[in-house]
Amino acid sequence: MDMKRFSVCFIMLVFSISVFAAGNEGRVVLGDEQTETYLPLLGEKRVALFANHSAIVGDKIILSDGTVQYGGFTAENTGGCDPTLIPFGLDAHGKPVQYGEHVLDALLAQGVHVTAVFCPEHGFRGTEDAGADIEDSVDKKTGIPLLSLYENDSTNAPSAEDMAFFDILVVDLQDVGLRYYTYYIALFHLMDACAANGKQVVVFDRPNPNGFYVDGNILDPKYVSNVGRIPIPIVHGMTFGELARMMNGEGWLKSGKNACDLAVIPCKNYTHRTKYSLVRAPSPNIKDMRAVYLYASTCFFENTIVSVGRGTQFPFEVYGSPFFTDTDKNDFSFTPQSIPGAVNPPFLGETCHGVDLRTVPIEKIWKEGIDLSYLLDAYKSAGAVNRQPGFFGTVYSSGFNWIDYLSGSDSLRKQVVAGNSASKIKKGWKKDIAAFKKARKTYLLYSE
């Protein structure tokens, strides 16, 4: 990253964070910090945890100068400094931060009887490749079984044997609020299994970093997959707790409407207008907040002839293809390499020409929401080199392309091929968005 850009905000950042840490009034307080609320619910019961590396209590970090920070970087506590310039895991010096207590350790320290941990895609440590099969294991530190929901990628559901480990399920992990981000699908299956087996679910809620807007079409049931499970827009704007309430209340679980005994520990001082920045990478290829925001737009390139930068230090913040030529339009190049979290990325070792989105102002990304101009421009570039046939990659036995599963229907792909504009495509989403926003009101825990 550009260290000159990174250091511009240092003085302002350290000053504002120090002031914020000194008086934490008004900061966002996460569900996992509220022991007085959730400990009575857990009691002496056997507790299973659904979590990964992101479940840091209070999102506590210690900066390299010793300053303690809670609750992530926001526009309010950075004195105007762009938090997207701070890579996850580093502070304003570019040095590694230390993380606070993990929720598993915190629960054990409070005498909670934790008997198992369910792990989502990317595993308990959050280091495995996208979609990789992950075997059950044991946490070396605590000796507690780690039960993978990705041991068999065909179901992502807990086994009957797994359900015998516990009486109550506690949920604490960081989502990014997109329909094709798979953590909520694992939650769906866990809630369904708990409903069928008479076990309570308690969600320690966390902010949604994309919780300030709703965008995209609602998933067509024909396109249900492991990147889209329930009828919500691509960007749903709900926290994990709110989404759990909606899955339960709308009867989307196989067990039926309100079948799950669900409790949510809401965040304090959070609203859907809050721009909440994360402190830790939620998955291995989301490396900073700019990627969190751009992911809604660039994920459409997955499994096409275009790379989103997997195998680089800036995935989802660039796009390019070895089939594109170096032109004024595609003046940026990168070469994917084998790295942790992207062991065998698309176009490994091939030079890709394309566009660097790291220069796009963050306010523009917020304003645009899902920005279809990237997809449309790439498709035009493919036409210039006679690569539009096959642009969308493999056609599955269902007759669909991967982008159909990501976008929730074949409409987006067909409109791109037809040459429709971004504004025309997004205009067609308005009815879906309005209907969803009306339906979700019952389940919101925070003001809009």
* Cβ atoms 202, 41 nearer than 8 A: yes
- Helix (H) or strand (E) run with residue 418 in it: helix 411-418
CB atoms closer than 10 angstroms to residue 65: 12
Pinpoint the alpha helices (H) of 31-132.
35-42, 103-109
Distance CA 240, CA 175 (A): 7
The one-letter amino acid at 447: S
- The pLDDT score that the predictor gives to residue 151 is 63
What's 90's DSSP letter? Answer: B
Closest CA to 31 of 277, 206, 270, 191: 206
* Gap between the Cα atoms of 7 and 326, Å rounded: 31
Distance CA 34, CA 353 (A): 49
The candidate with the shortest Cα–Cα distance to 42, out of 127, 126, 107, 119, is 107
Question: Residue 146 corresponds to which amino acid?
Answer: L
Domains of the chain: 25-58+101-265 (3.40.50.12170), 289-433 (3.90.1150)
pLDDT of residue 93: 76
Structure tokens at 206: 């966390």
The pLDDT assigned to 23 comes to: 36
The counts of H helices and E strands in the chain are 14, 13
pLDDT at residue 233, as a whole number: 98
Q: CA triplet 96, 61, 287: central angle to 5 degrees?
A: 55
Q: Are 330 and 354 in contact (CB under 8 A)?
A: yes
CA distance 278 to 265: 19
How many other CB atoms sit within 10 Å of the CB of residue 255? 16
C-alpha 152/C-alpha 150 separation (Å) is 5
Residue 147 contacts residue 124 (beta carbons within 8 Å):
no
Which pLDDT score, from 0 to 100, does residue 20 have? 34
Quote the CA–CA distance of 448 and 435 in Å, as a whole number: 16
- The torsion defined by the Cα of 267, 182, 83 and 285, in degrees rounded to 10, comes to 150
**DSSP summary character for residue 236:** -
CB 220 within 8 A of CB 186: no
Give the orientation angle of helix 411-418 with respect to helix 373-384, to 10 degrees: 50
Q: What does the pLDDT profile of the chain (448 residues) look like in tens digits? A: 444 333 334 333 332 333 333 334 589 999 999 999 999 999 999 999 999 999 999 999 998 888 888 876 655 545 455 677 789 998 877 889 999 999 999 999 999 999 999 987 655 754 444 544 556 678 888 899 888 877 655 556 788 889 998 999 999 999 999 999 989 999 999 999 999 999 999 999 999 999 999 999 999 999 999 999 999 999 999 999 999 999 999 999 999 999 999 999 999 999 999 999 899 999 989 999 999 999 999 999 999 999 999 999 999 999 999 999 988 999 999 999 999 889 999 999 999 999 999 999 999 999 999 999 999 999 999 999 999 999 999 999 999 999 999 999 999 999 999 999 999 999 999 999 999 999 999 999 999 9
**Tokens standing for 33?**
């910090």
Residue type, 104: L
Q: Hey, is 396 helix, strand or coil?
A: coil
CA distance 116 to 90: 31
Which pTM value belongs to this model? 0.90
- Please state the three-class secondary structure of 280-337 as a single string: CCCCCCCCCHHHHHHHHHHHHHCCCCCECCCCCCCCCCEEEECCCCCCCCCCEEECCC
List residues bridging with 99 in a β-sheet.
61
Handedness of CA 356, 179, 176, 52 (dihedral sign): negative
The pLDDT of residue 10: 34
